[in-house]
Structure 1
Amino acid sequence: MTINVSELLAKVPTGLLIGDSWVEASDGGTFDVENPATGETIATLASATSEDALAALDAACAVQAEWARMPARERSNILRRGFELVAERAEEFATLMTLEMGKPLAEARGEVTYGNEFLRWFSEEAVRLYGRYGTTPEGNLRMLTALKPVGPCLLITPWNFPLAMATRKVAPAIAAGCVMVLKPARLTPLTSQYFAQTMLDAGLPAGVLNVVSGASASAISNPIMEDDRLRKVSFTGSTPVGQQLLKKAADKVLRTSMELGGNAPFIVFEDADLDLAIEGAMGAKMRNIGEACTAANRFLVHESVADEFGRRFAARLEEQVLGNGLDEGVTVGPLVEEKARDSVASLVDAAVAEGATVLTGGKAGTGAGYFYEPTVLTGVSTDAAILNEEIFGPVAPIVTFQTEEEALRLANSTEYGLASYVFTQDTSRIFRVSDGLEFGLVGVNSGVISNAAAPFGGVKQSGMGREGGLEGIEEYTSVQYIGIRDPYAG
């Protein structure tokens, strides 16, 4: 299916969704969105002010009570219709993501499928918010518990998965009966704008979902988080920004869900199936051009197989085609902006200066756009910055180890604890290593494990709370206990 880009962009709302209308910013301000493959401006959107942010919260709070009373089946049906509409518009969503974020069209299609599953999953969970009933041990009270919507939410999404990060937050909020203000990332707001319109088309009542895109994140988040009516903030992004939001949330004792940075180890033991490990490495490293908090950041490979693994992985990366993600055959698109490309280049250059060897890649692309070649490094110093910072690009540094204990020590030597990957054919080792890893996610003989039915989240400075799975909807609820005097009590 061929999408006319001009016609598609004309469908995307460029205003702020406040209540039932897409409106201009109160001061008339705008900001541009560019295509990272070309550096060209593709859209100009209204840039929300603090006044606009509070107007969006006003619109949400005005319908919270009514929305919370809506039968769960009706909320479920809205999510299901949203799922069906996103599926119908899948090629449009994929094209939008490639235009504003850069990922190849095939990967963008994969994100549509993945992100849309949150709408389907939570349409099914909406009708399963069960409380419980029992008696106190003393027999004097009947206990009832109810799960109630937590209330108005601020949802802040990142630029790297423009659809999936929106659906992963919006869907459980809708299912639980919460209203919300969504603030998309400045670099990639178009997908969220079109998604919000799609949910309105699916029958979502006005005011339940409000969208305020803008050039200044703080101008939007600060006034909302200082408002006494807000009950929850959900953020996906960097750990430093998450830390600042947590400090602000503490002032109002807000419920928080934080999905923050990662520094994922990819551990290859001596008994690993190397064919499987290479496939896993391609998924864990090259998914989303490496611009993912779950991306394999440190390749810890047993010394007996490190040379073969590095050689074969480099050969696979040399097969990749760098270019505009809309072009046929392209498998590696640009990084999201110039600053991102320069950061990756700086990490690689520093590692090489400290003695690392480049097996393949190691250079920025030429011409327009923010490209960087898929890269494999060996001989990387264990204290190199590239092993201690999120790379967020298509670069794989390899470090060797000798023992299982050393592998675990290297894997856990980070303040982050989101994703990790283990490749071994030893069942006992799978459980030992999983127990020893200080990470919220462990992929065993698989480089891609995210799924709407599974809880996603980290430990340590990678955040708190879980998205997706049975746990995802609970993040948008509060527990109310009702104690009723037992009629048979003395």
Structure 2
Amino acid sequence: MEKLNQLLHNHVHWVLQVEAIAFKQALLWPNRLKILKVGPALACGCTVVIKPSELTPLTALAAAELSLQAGIPPGVVNVVMGNASAIGDALLASSQVRKITFTGSTAVGKKLMAGAAATVKKVSLELGGNAPCIVFDDADLDVAVKGTLAAKFRNTGQTCVCANRILVQEGIYDKFRDAFAKAVQNMQVGNGFSEGVAQGPLINEAAVQKVESFIQDAISKGAKVVLGAKRHSLGMTFYEPTVLSDVKNDMLIAREEVFGPVAPLLRFKTEDEAIRIANDTNAGLASYIFTNNVQRSWRVSEALEYGLVGVNEGLISTEVG
């Protein structure tokens, strides 16, 4: 009987080979995303087809070349370049591709999920974000400023987990605004390979124009410019780190992902109001909380409809454990 009980309580892990996996990638973190997705696929014995973003294609080619140098057989790691829509349709229609994994916009993710149904492909999606960063009255001001700075301006605000809306409770709003603006003003903008540089350029001119349109919309509806809100003197696609105050939840910058170095500050009164504003979006990827109240941190974390919640921490997508 004892041996039977031991047998019944064993943990059995089945590793199922999916065969060919198609990987469509957004512009952000081109090397990191390939490692996160291609590595496990290869470990499970699968081959992969990578369709990189047309904005960051060269890293995919370099990674494929390195895989050959490392001894991975030809045909195991494949890279396809060209029209994203046409390639996506071909991968969806292929009977050889058994799984689609995609990081990018919600709109494209929906199309891939619908298209995968015809051949019953497995689908893994990491879609757009509209991350709220909630700063409560009881937060440590220095911790909140440092954490929000990291959450907002990493990679020049061009990640799907970047803080897109900074909700600050009214009791600490003015102090936070001033301290945060001072920290942002001290950020060095320039070549990312230069020591001390904290922010580089935006990916292209279209990204700059999108940032400008979001800021113009906010200002036209009553938002105030605390800092920045203009192109950087370096030219090209550099944009000044920007802080806006008196932002309302109906402004474009609070409704959609800006994907740039713009920090909109929204004011709230109560915990319930903060949760309501934070959850008022169709995106649910990442969120941030700053508070010294343990009970509140658990309560709000559970109420937020997001897959990732950082508590007193601005960098939440790093691997631990």
CA 1:308–1:145: 2 relative to 1, 3 Å: closer
1:238 is matched with which residue?
105
2:72 is matched with which residue?
204
After superposition, give the CA deviation of every residue in 1:423-461 in whole Å (9 maximum; x if it has no partner).
00111111101110100000000000112357xxxxxxx
Matches of 1:382 and 1:232, distance apart in 2? 38
Amino acid at match of 1:297: N
SS in 2 for 1:234: strand
Higher Rg of the two aligned structures: 1
Matches of 1:158 and 1:313, distance apart in 2? 30
2:92 is matched with which residue?
225
What count of residue pairs does the alignment treat as equivalent? Answer: 314
| Alignment equivalent of 1:177, drawn from 45, 55, 58 | 45
| Alignment equivalent of 1:300, drawn from 149, 157, 167 | 167
Once the two structures are TM-superposed, the CA of residue 364 in structure 1 deviates from its matched residue by 1.7
1:432 aligns with 2:315: no
1:160 is matched with which residue?
28
Once the two structures are TM-superposed, the CA of residue 328 in structure 1 deviates from its matched residue by 4.3
1:338 aligns with 2:205: yes
Once the two structures are TM-superposed, the CA of residue 379 in structure 1 deviates from its matched residue by 0.7
Once the two structures are TM-superposed, the CA of residue 175 in structure 1 deviates from its matched residue by 1.2
Matches of 1:328 and 1:449, distance apart in 2? 24
Higher relative contact order (CA 8 A, sep 6+): 1
Stretches of structure 1 lacking an aligned partner (at least 5 in a row): 1-132, 136-143, 455-490
Using the size of structure 2 for normalisation, the TM-score is 0.94
2:120 is matched with which residue?
253
Once the two structures are TM-superposed, the CA of residue 150 in structure 1 deviates from its matched residue by 1.2
Once the two structures are TM-superposed, the CA of residue 367 in structure 1 deviates from its matched residue by 5.7
Once the two structures are TM-superposed, the CA of residue 329 in structure 1 deviates from its matched residue by 3.8
Amino acid at match of 1:242: G
Amino acid at match of 1:212: V
Once the two structures are TM-superposed, the CA of residue 166 in structure 1 deviates from its matched residue by 0.9
1:395-406 matches, cutoff 5 A = 395-406=262-273
SS in 1 for 2:301: helix
Task: Please give the root-mean-square deviation of Cα atoms over the aligned residues, in Å.
Answer: 1.7
Matches of 2:291 and 2:191, distance apart in 1? 36
Once the two structures are TM-superposed, the CA of residue 327 in structure 1 deviates from its matched residue by 4.0
Using the size of structure 1 for normalisation, the TM-score is 0.62
1:186 is matched with which residue?
54
Matches of 1:369 and 1:448, distance apart in 2? 28
Matches of 1:378 and 1:426, distance apart in 2? 26
Percent sequence identity over aligned pairs? 47
1:287-326 matches, cutoff 5 A = 287-326=154-193
1:16 is matched with which residue?
none
The list of structure 1 runs, each at least 4 consecutive aligned residues, that deviate by more than 4 angstroms after superposition, is none
1:213 is matched with which residue?
81
2:219 is matched with which residue?
352
SS in 1 for 2:218: helix
Amino acid at match of 1:338: E
